[in-house]
Structure 1
Amino acid sequence: MTKELKFYRCLDCGYVLEVLDFGTRQVITKGESFAKSTTIADAKLICCNKEMELLVPNTVDASAEKHLPVVEFLEGGKISVKVGSVTHPMIESHYIKWITIASGDKVQRVILDPGQAPEAIFDIGGEIDVNVYAYCNLHGLWKTSAKK
């Protein structure tokens, strides 16, 4: 089974983190006796002295710019990923910063710069399921799941 990835973004500086290990959830107990409460929570990620935002990937294109990764299975255990059914802009003010895939127990990423094509080829071996994420500097996180 292909793993789901979680990304967080700082709303102030734009820093983006990928969670590698979810760790153990915390049990938080407050109060005493009949006013006692217990909560189970994940750790908070803090940047710029504020809690980071969990990025929920968009899975449906609804604007003129196309952001959803398009996956094509190739021979030899490879896939081609292109961002957008119509090529996404790759200019300094609006571009795809990275494409990340999760297949089986592996995660691969290609970092992109303005002027480059918003596409990449990844080697997934014998895997048949893949989750593909693309991050636009203006419109956030996008995800496509594909199966051979």
Structure 2
Amino acid sequence: MMEQAYPMDAPIISGLKTHYHAGEYIEAQCTAPPSYPAPEMSWAINGKGVDTYKTSLKVNEDRGLLRATLSVKLMADAGLFKNPGGYALFVCTSILMDTPAMSADSKVYWSTEPESTEANSDLDSSGDIFRNSNGIAF
């Protein structure tokens, strides 16, 4: 069995666009570097922790190490983009036991421009959405 293996880098955020319109889904993934064991991971938006029912954790094995990815999915609304400048700050943090926390962050902006008629390749084409324990979609 493998001893502990600590990540050497901060997690990486992917899947975010720079601008979102009202009613559009924001979906992002945060992937921690390989480690053993897998780190604890969390999302915060504008300094507030994201409810776990809006997140999904997946852990894959990679040559004896574990690669954790924490996804978040929520709908864009004006209240989310309340920072001066009209942005929302997404922060992903990974913590492995007694090591210092490592974080990555990304700003996304509220779009007041008309929505493009082009297909949005960043959204899940299957139409899948997350549901909380009461079966309510978000």
TM-score by length of structure 2 reads 0.41
User: Where is the strand percentage greater, Structure 1 or Structure 2?
Assistant: 1
Report which of the two structures shows the higher radius of gyration computed on alpha carbons.
1
